[in-house]
Amino acid sequence: MAGKFIKGALIEFMETFLLPLPNVISFQFNPETMTHAWTQAQAAVGSNPLAVSGVPGESFSFNIMLDSNDSIANQDPVSGSLAEVSGVYSRLAALEMLLYPTGGKKSGGLVGSVAASLSNGRIDLSLNGSASAAEIPQSQVPTVLFVWGPGRIVPVRVTNLSITEKLYDSLLNPIHAEAQLSLSVLTPDELKYVTGPLRGIAKGAYAYSQGLRQALAVANLGNATESIIGMVPL
Protein backbone atom coordinates (compact mmCIF):
# COMPACT_ATOMS: atom_id res chain seq x y z
CA MET A 1 0.00 0.00 0.00
CA ALA A 2 1.34 3.40 -0.96
CA GLY A 3 2.35 5.64 1.92
CA LYS A 4 0.70 8.94 2.64
CA PHE A 5 2.53 11.95 1.20
CA ILE A 6 3.33 15.02 3.26
CA LYS A 7 1.85 18.13 1.69
CA GLY A 8 4.03 21.10 0.91
CA ALA A 9 2.98 24.47 2.27
CA LEU A 10 3.64 28.18 2.49
CA ILE A 11 3.38 29.63 6.00
CA GLU A 12 3.02 33.31 6.84
CA PHE A 13 2.85 34.54 10.42
CA MET A 14 0.35 37.37 10.55
CA GLU A 15 0.57 39.89 13.38
CA THR A 16 -2.84 40.16 15.01
CA PHE A 17 -3.90 42.23 17.98
CA LEU A 18 -3.35 39.35 20.41
CA LEU A 19 -1.01 36.61 19.20
CA PRO A 20 0.79 35.89 15.91
CA LEU A 21 -1.55 33.85 13.73
CA PRO A 22 0.01 31.36 11.28
CA ASN A 23 -1.57 31.58 7.84
CA VAL A 24 -0.88 28.10 6.47
CA ILE A 25 -1.43 27.67 2.73
CA SER A 26 -1.20 23.92 2.32
CA PHE A 27 -0.81 22.61 -1.22
CA GLN A 28 -3.97 20.80 -2.23
CA PHE A 29 -1.88 18.71 -4.65
CA ASN A 30 1.91 18.59 -4.46
CA PRO A 31 3.62 19.74 -7.68
CA GLU A 32 5.10 16.89 -9.70
CA THR A 33 8.12 18.91 -10.84
CA MET A 34 10.05 21.82 -9.40
CA THR A 35 12.87 24.05 -10.66
CA HIS A 36 15.51 24.74 -8.01
CA ALA A 37 17.96 27.36 -9.29
CA TRP A 38 21.03 29.20 -8.03
CA THR A 39 22.78 32.35 -9.21
CA GLN A 40 26.33 33.19 -8.24
CA ALA A 41 26.81 35.96 -5.71
CA GLN A 42 27.97 39.36 -6.88
CA ALA A 43 31.71 39.68 -7.41
CA ALA A 44 33.55 41.41 -4.60
CA VAL A 45 35.40 44.64 -5.19
CA GLY A 46 39.11 43.93 -5.61
CA SER A 47 41.67 42.22 -7.79
CA ASN A 48 40.70 38.63 -6.94
CA PRO A 49 38.44 37.39 -9.79
CA LEU A 50 37.18 34.48 -7.67
CA ALA A 51 36.10 36.56 -4.68
CA VAL A 52 32.38 37.08 -4.07
CA SER A 53 30.52 39.30 -1.62
CA GLY A 54 27.89 36.89 -0.36
CA VAL A 55 26.13 33.56 -0.72
CA PRO A 56 24.55 32.38 -4.00
CA GLY A 57 21.01 33.41 -4.77
CA GLU A 58 18.56 30.53 -4.50
CA SER A 59 15.06 30.20 -5.93
CA PHE A 60 12.23 27.72 -6.44
CA SER A 61 9.65 27.67 -9.25
CA PHE A 62 6.72 25.29 -9.55
CA ASN A 63 3.03 24.98 -10.44
CA ILE A 64 0.26 23.96 -8.08
CA MET A 65 -3.25 22.83 -8.98
CA LEU A 66 -6.39 23.87 -7.11
CA ASP A 67 -9.75 22.16 -7.43
CA SER A 68 -12.87 22.88 -5.37
CA ASN A 69 -14.57 19.60 -6.28
CA ASP A 70 -11.85 17.67 -4.46
CA SER A 71 -12.40 19.74 -1.30
CA ILE A 72 -16.15 19.18 -1.50
CA ALA A 73 -15.72 15.44 -2.07
CA ASN A 74 -13.54 15.14 1.05
CA GLN A 75 -16.49 16.46 3.08
CA ASP A 76 -14.31 18.64 5.28
CA PRO A 77 -16.65 20.86 7.32
CA VAL A 78 -14.47 23.96 6.80
CA SER A 79 -12.69 23.70 3.45
CA GLY A 80 -15.59 21.81 1.87
CA SER A 81 -18.16 24.41 2.90
CA LEU A 82 -15.87 27.23 1.77
CA ALA A 83 -15.34 25.52 -1.59
CA GLU A 84 -19.10 25.23 -2.12
CA VAL A 85 -19.50 28.98 -1.57
CA SER A 86 -16.41 30.43 -3.27
CA GLY A 87 -14.77 27.64 -5.27
CA VAL A 88 -10.98 28.02 -5.08
CA TYR A 89 -11.21 31.81 -4.82
CA SER A 90 -10.24 31.82 -1.12
CA ARG A 91 -7.12 29.75 -1.83
CA LEU A 92 -6.16 32.04 -4.72
CA ALA A 93 -6.74 35.13 -2.57
CA ALA A 94 -4.44 33.75 0.13
CA LEU A 95 -1.68 33.29 -2.47
CA GLU A 96 -2.25 36.75 -3.93
CA MET A 97 -1.94 38.45 -0.54
CA LEU A 98 1.60 37.06 -0.17
CA LEU A 99 2.68 39.70 -2.71
CA TYR A 100 1.11 42.63 -0.88
CA PRO A 101 2.83 44.69 1.84
CA THR A 102 1.51 44.10 5.32
CA GLY A 103 1.09 47.78 6.19
CA GLY A 104 3.59 48.35 8.95
CA LYS A 105 4.61 46.79 12.24
CA LYS A 106 1.54 47.85 14.19
CA SER A 107 -1.09 47.24 11.57
CA GLY A 108 -1.82 43.68 12.66
CA GLY A 109 -0.59 42.10 9.43
CA LEU A 110 -3.12 40.97 6.86
CA VAL A 111 -6.05 41.02 9.26
CA GLY A 112 -5.11 44.43 10.62
CA SER A 113 -4.52 45.92 7.17
CA VAL A 114 -7.95 44.86 5.95
CA ALA A 115 -9.68 46.09 9.10
CA ALA A 116 -7.87 49.42 8.99
CA SER A 117 -8.68 49.92 5.32
CA LEU A 118 -12.37 49.27 5.92
CA SER A 119 -12.63 51.43 9.02
CA ASN A 120 -10.76 54.37 7.50
CA GLY A 121 -12.53 54.20 4.15
CA ARG A 122 -9.32 53.55 2.26
CA ILE A 123 -10.90 51.25 -0.31
CA ASP A 124 -11.72 53.39 -3.33
CA LEU A 125 -14.90 52.13 -5.01
CA SER A 126 -14.62 54.50 -7.92
CA LEU A 127 -15.68 53.75 -11.49
CA ASN A 128 -12.27 52.39 -12.39
CA GLY A 129 -12.52 49.88 -9.53
CA SER A 130 -9.00 50.47 -8.22
CA ALA A 131 -7.61 51.73 -4.94
CA SER A 132 -5.66 54.97 -4.83
CA ALA A 133 -1.95 54.28 -5.28
CA ALA A 134 -1.08 56.94 -2.71
CA GLU A 135 -2.94 54.99 -0.03
CA ILE A 136 -1.19 51.65 -0.51
CA PRO A 137 0.83 51.05 2.69
CA GLN A 138 4.57 51.38 2.08
CA SER A 139 5.89 48.42 4.06
CA GLN A 140 7.63 45.09 3.67
CA VAL A 141 6.13 42.25 1.70
CA PRO A 142 5.46 39.19 3.87
CA THR A 143 8.26 36.83 4.77
CA VAL A 144 7.04 33.29 4.17
CA LEU A 145 8.29 29.85 5.14
CA PHE A 146 8.40 27.39 2.25
CA VAL A 147 7.96 23.92 3.73
CA TRP A 148 8.79 21.02 1.44
CA GLY A 149 9.15 18.08 3.78
CA PRO A 150 11.38 17.96 6.88
CA GLY A 151 14.51 18.55 4.82
CA ARG A 152 13.53 21.88 3.25
CA ILE A 153 12.14 24.62 5.44
CA VAL A 154 13.41 27.95 4.14
CA PRO A 155 12.39 31.61 4.49
CA VAL A 156 11.33 33.00 1.12
CA ARG A 157 9.74 35.95 -0.61
CA VAL A 158 7.16 35.35 -3.33
CA THR A 159 8.60 37.06 -6.41
CA ASN A 160 6.12 35.96 -9.06
CA LEU A 161 2.60 34.57 -9.17
CA SER A 162 0.66 33.75 -12.32
CA ILE A 163 -2.80 32.18 -12.08
CA THR A 164 -4.73 30.43 -14.84
CA GLU A 165 -8.41 30.00 -13.98
CA LYS A 166 -9.97 27.19 -15.99
CA LEU A 167 -13.52 26.48 -14.80
CA TYR A 168 -16.22 28.53 -13.04
CA ASP A 169 -19.40 27.90 -11.09
CA SER A 170 -22.77 29.60 -11.67
CA LEU A 171 -21.58 32.70 -9.75
CA LEU A 172 -18.35 32.82 -11.79
CA ASN A 173 -16.20 31.74 -8.86
CA PRO A 174 -13.19 29.80 -10.16
CA ILE A 175 -13.51 26.11 -9.30
CA HIS A 176 -10.33 24.87 -10.99
CA ALA A 177 -7.08 26.80 -11.37
CA GLU A 178 -3.34 26.46 -11.82
CA ALA A 179 -0.91 28.79 -10.04
CA GLN A 180 2.68 29.32 -11.17
CA LEU A 181 4.86 30.38 -8.24
CA SER A 182 8.40 31.70 -8.02
CA LEU A 183 10.07 31.96 -4.62
CA SER A 184 13.35 33.65 -3.72
CA VAL A 185 15.16 32.28 -0.66
CA LEU A 186 16.19 35.06 1.70
CA THR A 187 19.94 35.35 2.30
CA PRO A 188 21.50 36.04 5.73
CA ASP A 189 21.96 39.70 4.74
CA GLU A 190 18.27 39.97 3.82
CA LEU A 191 17.17 38.19 6.99
CA LYS A 192 18.58 41.10 9.02
CA TYR A 193 15.63 43.19 7.84
CA VAL A 194 12.91 40.68 8.71
CA THR A 195 10.64 42.00 11.46
CA GLY A 196 7.73 40.66 13.44
CA PRO A 197 7.04 37.19 14.84
CA LEU A 198 8.75 35.38 11.96
CA ARG A 199 12.16 36.97 12.54
CA GLY A 200 13.62 34.30 14.81
CA ILE A 201 11.82 31.47 13.03
CA ALA A 202 13.12 32.60 9.62
CA LYS A 203 16.72 32.75 10.81
CA GLY A 204 16.41 29.38 12.52
CA ALA A 205 14.88 27.78 9.42
CA TYR A 206 17.67 29.09 7.20
CA ALA A 207 20.37 27.87 9.59
CA TYR A 208 18.68 24.45 9.87
CA SER A 209 18.33 23.96 6.10
CA GLN A 210 21.87 25.16 5.41
CA GLY A 211 23.28 22.90 8.13
CA LEU A 212 21.39 19.91 6.73
CA ARG A 213 22.66 20.70 3.21
CA GLN A 214 26.25 20.77 4.46
CA ALA A 215 25.79 17.51 6.38
CA LEU A 216 24.36 15.75 3.31
CA ALA A 217 27.23 17.08 1.19
CA VAL A 218 29.69 15.53 3.64
CA ALA A 219 27.70 12.28 3.58
CA ASN A 220 28.11 12.22 -0.20
CA LEU A 221 31.85 11.65 0.29
CA GLY A 222 30.96 7.96 0.52
CA ASN A 223 29.55 8.08 -3.00
CA ALA A 224 32.55 10.10 -4.17
CA THR A 225 34.98 7.47 -2.87
CA GLU A 226 33.11 4.72 -4.69
CA SER A 227 33.11 6.78 -7.90
CA ILE A 228 36.85 7.43 -7.72
CA ILE A 229 37.54 3.71 -7.26
CA GLY A 230 35.42 2.99 -10.33
CA MET A 231 37.36 5.57 -12.38
CA VAL A 232 40.79 4.18 -11.56
CA PRO A 233 41.78 1.16 -13.71
CA LEU A 234 42.91 -1.68 -11.49
Do the domain assignments include residue 187? yes
Q: Which pLDDT tens digit goes with each residue over 44-91?
A: 776 677 778 788 999 999 999 999 988 888 777 778 888 899 999 999
**Average pLDDT of the residues of the chain:** 81
Select the more confidently predicted residue: 232 or 62: 62
Q: Which of 194, 200, 196 is nearest to 157 (CA)?
A: 194
Do the domain assignments include residue 128? no
Total tally of structural domains belonging to the chain: 1
Q: Which pLDDT tens digit goes with each residue over 181-214?
A: 999 999 999 999 887 777 889 999 999 999 999 9
Do the domain assignments include residue 229? no
Structural domain including 162 reads 9-100+141-219
Do the domain assignments include residue 134? no
Do the domain assignments include residue 116? no
Do the domain assignments include residue 3? no
Do the domain assignments include residue 26? yes
